[in-house]
A = this chain, B = another copy of it.
Amino acid sequence: MHSVGKSWLLLTGFVFFYVIYLLFGALVFSSIERPVEDKLRHDMERLKEEFLNQSCVNAASLELFLNKVLTANKYGVSVLRNSSGRSNWDLASSMFFANTLVTTVGYGHPTPLSDAGKAFSIVYALIGVPFTMLVLTACVQRVMHPLVLAPVTLLQRSGLKPRPATVVHFLLLLIVVVLCFFLAPAAVFSVVEVSWTFLDGIYFCFISLCTIGLGDFVPAARPGQQYRALYQVAVMVYLFLGLMVMYLLLRTLHKMADVHGLTTLLQLPRCEESVLEEDTEPIVSNDPTPPQLKDKAASKPLDPGSQPSYNSINKG
């Protein structure tokens, strides 16, 4: 029980540091980008005023004006009147941006304007992307037992053979995921985002949870969006849980392929089983001997070269 508590404590710690890392990123991005954005926004307002004050608009001046408008727009600064009030780099939006960086979704709305912002993005993602992968992996490991091992065992006990049991389980899991992480959120988005259709919602969910993140649909980008910050936080939670579930689905598929001998057929790396052994195993173990080595030690003589190497570590 002690080790279970410890393992959950470590996981909670991971998630806590993940949130802290996002908040830290949000603060830095906001402080770097907000002044640059404010200046660009101010410049654009002046430019628009000057354009309107012209006695006559000719093709050349329009071209020049549009060029500047489109460049500013690329950096997320719109010249439209109804969007001139809101910043892309307030705390919630910066946190949303930081989240899309570390999850590799990367919508690209907004993008850093300054060189300092770009350099910080690189450093931030360099640490953040592997850390997010670690947090997601640790989270998926915690839910593998209740969502994969237990249901498959249950199906086997109810009379199904192992191979059909894994297929039935995978299909059931897929249906639940499609319902809860694609159809339901798409319905919500099509209501909350006025200009989105249901297909747009599905498209957004799919493009986001595959981490493609094209950025043609970004939630909370509409001017005058109510409770924007809260909405952005909700989308961040959705993205995290969604990526976790996609990873879970991928591992379940990989395991199913293992059971059906497909990974062996293609000689691809097999899915690890250690996490399935028991949900109650600690993430941090006080015993430095890997469980695989322990299992094998009983049945094989000790290797004279006991220090692990690339060649020997998994062969015990």
- Tell me if A295 is interfacial: C-beta within 8 Å of chain B: yes
- Tell me if A308 is interfacial: C-beta within 8 Å of chain B: yes
**A122 adjacent to B308 (CB under 8 Å):** no
Q: Which of A26-34, A70-78, A88-96 contacts B (4 or more CB under 8 A)?
A: A70-78
**A267 adjacent to B202 (CB under 8 Å):** no
- Tell me if A141 is interfacial: C-beta within 8 Å of chain B: yes
- Tell me if A39 is interfacial: C-beta within 8 Å of chain B: no
- Tell me if A288 is interfacial: C-beta within 8 Å of chain B: yes
**A161 adjacent to B307 (CB under 8 Å):** yes
Report the nearest B residue to A255, measured CB to CB: B310
Contacts A70-B80, A118-B199, A162-B307 known; 6 new A-B pairs at CB < 8 A: A111-B215, A122-B202, A141-B268, A162-B309, A259-B310, A276-B311
User: Which A109-130 residues sit within 8 Å CB-CB of chain B?
Assistant: 111-112, 115, 118-119, 121-122, 125-126, 129
- Listed by A's residue number, 15 A-B pairs whose Cβ atoms lie within 8 Å are A7-B267, A63-B81, A69-B69, A100-B212, A105-B212, A106-B106, A106-B213, A119-B203, A122-B206, A138-B266, A149-B310, A156-B309, A215-B215, A258-B313, A267-B282
Least distance between A60 CB and chain B CB atoms (Å): 10
Least distance between A232 CB and chain B CB atoms (Å): 17
Instruction: Tell me, in angstroms, the Cα distance from A311 to B165 when the chains sit together.
Output: 12
Report the nearest B residue to A107, measured CB to CB: B108
Please indicate the chain B residues that have their CB under 8 angstroms from the CB of A285 in the complex.
264-265, 267
Instruction: Tell me, in angstroms, the Cα distance from A152 to B312 when the chains sit together.
Output: 12
Instruction: Tell me, in angstroms, the Cα distance from A288 to B267 when the chains sit together.
Output: 11
Name which of A105, A126, A152 has the most chain B CB atoms within 10 A of its CB.
Answer: A105
Least distance between A295 CB and chain B CB atoms (Å): 7
Instruction: Tell me, in angstroms, the Cα distance from A163 to B310 when the chains sit together.
Output: 9
Q: Kindly supply a per-residue 1/0 record for chain A positions 272-316, scoring 1 wherever the CB is within 8 Å of any chain B CB and 0 otherwise.
A: 111110000111110011111001100110000001111101110
The oligomer's copy count stands at 2
Instruction: Tell me, in angstroms, the Cα distance from A70 to B83 when the chains sit together.
Output: 12
Instruction: Tell me, in angstroms, the Cα distance from A292 to B7 when the chains sit together.
Output: 29
- Tell me if A248 is interfacial: C-beta within 8 Å of chain B: no
Instruction: Tell me, in angstroms, the Cα distance from A315 to B273 when the chains sit together.
Output: 8
- Tell me if A193 is interfacial: C-beta within 8 Å of chain B: no
Please indicate the chain B residues that have their CB under 8 angstroms from the CB of A291 in the complex.
264
Instruction: Tell me, in angstroms, the Cα distance from A95 to B22 when the chains sit together.
Output: 35
- Tell me if A104 is interfacial: C-beta within 8 Å of chain B: yes
- Tell me if A23 is interfacial: C-beta within 8 Å of chain B: no
Least distance between A256 CB and chain B CB atoms (Å): 9
Task: Take A57-B57, A79-B66, A80-B63 as given contacts and tell me if A141 and B267 are in contact as well, using a CB distance cutoff of 8 Å.
Answer: yes
Which of B73, B266, B288 touches A283 (beta carbons < 8 Å)?
B266
Report the nearest B residue to A204, measured CB to CB: B118
Please indicate the chain B residues that have their CB under 8 angstroms from the CB of A216 in the complex.
74-75, 108, 111-112
Which of B48, B118, B270, B283 touches A274 (beta carbons < 8 Å)?
B270
Report the nearest B residue to A140, measured CB to CB: B269
